Amino acid sequence: MSLANNINFLRHLPKLSHGTQWFSASKDGANGRLLEVSGFGSNPGNLRMFSFVPDDLKNDSALVVVLHGCTQNAAGYDVGAGWSTLAERYGFALLMPQQVASNNANCCFNWFNPEDTARGSGEACSIRQMIYRMLRDHRIDRRRIFVTGLSAGGAMTSVMLATYPDAFAGGAIIAGLPFGLATNMKEALRDMFRPPSHSAEVLGDLVRRASQHKGPWPKISVWHGSADRTVNPSNANAIIKQWLDVHQLSATPMSEATVDGYPRRIWWNAEGETVVESYTINNMSHGTPLGIGENDEQYGMKGAFLIEAGISSSYHIAKFFGLTERIHKPKEAETSVVDHPSIVLPRRLTRTETADRPEHRNQAISRNRCRRGHYQGTDCCRSHEVRPFV
């Protein structure tokens, strides 16, 4: 596909319809599972905030930030990827930021705009403010905050891990791009189709220069389809190279395995903790791979850029984050109520917890805390002029 064709493809992506498809979100989210939250800060990136919190959330629970792809929204991606089902089963909170058409005509996060990808600025700052709101409202363990996303959401995941590495214990990038190479739309399209080759040190320096953080660094999981013609699979290799350099690890995997028929490569640190992993989904095009988790439950449902591949990326990412060791048991078990006739959500589990607390947590992140003004947006966030993608 030529660069011109790639630009034409993006220009003709279907716009979101409001209130007519399961990808569309009402004010209360999809089928009541997501709730919209307002008043989370100055919101310089002009984003919307949605959340899901299981009943009777335990103290020191984890938080997963989930970023949708282009032409999607928070509610649709949640239904498609199954994250609120996982959150309810295993007892962690979800934050799902949502792009708006006034920022980007195709509702892509602006992962390539310098004003949106710098610490304390634009969309990145808005997402950070949302995290502060979740910390204020719920019993979240600051050492167990994670981020994941698809496509433009995957590229924005790269942004969040680079600009706020002190905020995250780990991240997972699906069909995304490395941080810092693209600084405008032309470069973004170039990198999607055929990214330039850079040394590991150059890529790693882009992350190191994005903040004053000196480590420990978030761990990272990278997923990409080998037949992806929207975001070239070489971007996955660049992401891996970037974060191996940040973690000061060699390019040779410590271990290789097959998971649900697909190759997984693994790198671990001196303490034996897996800090970088990659999955290649053979013959899969652009999207999030769906399948059955190890507990024989299907997570998510097929849709645009949500592909049945026989492997549940959401489940394995949650496992990589260390979130699947304990089953969440709410005080009162009840059957989920479904308003949409085509979507059947799993009933809530009632069996007791089956595993003890992990023997060790993910690597601790910096305990430096932002000032109150940071949350309010008075010190960290510049004014933001919204711009369409095309």
Catalytic positions, please?
151
HSE-CB for 301 with a 13 A CA cutoff? 13
Among residues 68, 74, 81, the alpha carbon closest in space to that of 289 is found at 81
Q: Which residue has the tokens 């002190």?
A: 166
Residue given tokens 């060699």 in the structure block = 250
| Number of CB atoms found within 10 A of residue 327's CB | 16
